[in-house]
Amino acid sequence: MLTKDFILLVIVYSIFFSFFACSPTTQSERYKKPKEPETEPSSSVRFTSKNDTKKDTSVYSAVSDELTEFDELPVEDYPVDTKDFIGKYEKIESLSSALTTREKILFEIISYLNTPYKYGGVDRNGIDCSAFTHHVLNTSIGVELPRTASEQFNIGDKIFNKNELQFGDLVFFNTTRRSYPGHVGIYLGENLFAHASRSLGVTVSSLNSTYYNKRFVGARRIQ
């Protein structure tokens, strides 16, 4: 049978062992969550990272797609061969030492053909309709236009009859509920006009196309 002295000794030994075995570090490891090493924030929350910049760009592109000047994607049921169009004027450019006003505008338009469409875009990396008309006429003949299609619609001499159109007139179309008119191009003659199309980029289209024919709202002569 165990004596009282032996039991007391066991109790004292147990207390002594528990005190020295459980150091503060050991207690922290057992009862507190260890501190995690500091790491760099992920790209999803790092506002200055390259990955975040790409993310912002993709978001802007998505917004841009929604805020174009077209409620419906234009359909070209009278497509124009731009290569054939360019071919008509290549010899003129190589032979003419002094270009006419018409030729200056034409060659500036040709230089922009196939530039991608971008709502809000203002250069050859991507351009919208009113920026295109602004750049072409300003660069070729020094005519300064307002920035938007609706502003350009309020300048110059008003023309409503298609039969009265002349080369260089600005032609306008009601293509969106967000602004009136929503789209603008430059008339070239023979029912053709140059513009920045959402579906084709900078191109030449026909006023006979169903899409543009039913949305034509008039023209402005600014020369």
Instruction: Please say whether the dihedral angle defined by the alpha carbons of residues 198, 202, 203 and 204, taken in this order, is positive or negative.
Output: positive
pLDDT tens sequence for the chain (223 residues): 555 555 555 454 444 444 433 334 433 333 344 444 433 333 322 222 333 333 333 222 333 444 578 888 888 999 999 888 888 877 665 555 678 999 999 999 999 999 999 999 999 999 999 999 999 999 999 999 999 999 999 999 999 999 999 999 999 999 999 899 999 999 999 999 999 999 899 999 999 999 999 999 999 999 7
Annotated catalytic residue, options 22, 134, 135, 195:
195
Contact 187, 193 (CB under 8 A): yes
The phi, psi pair for 37, rounded to 5°, reads -65, 145
Domain ranges in the chain? Answer: 39-68, 71-221
Class of domain 71-221: alpha beta
Per-residue pLDDT at 223: 77
Contact 156, 221 (CB under 8 A): yes
Active site residue 195: yes
User: Is-above-0.85 flag for pTM?
Assistant: no
Active site residue 134: no
Query: How does strand 192-197 pair with strand 216-221?
Result: unpaired
Active site residue 22: no
The full DSSP string for 99-130 is --HHHHHHHHHHHHTTPPB-TT-EETTEE-HH
Annotated catalytic residue, options 22, 134, 135, 183:
183
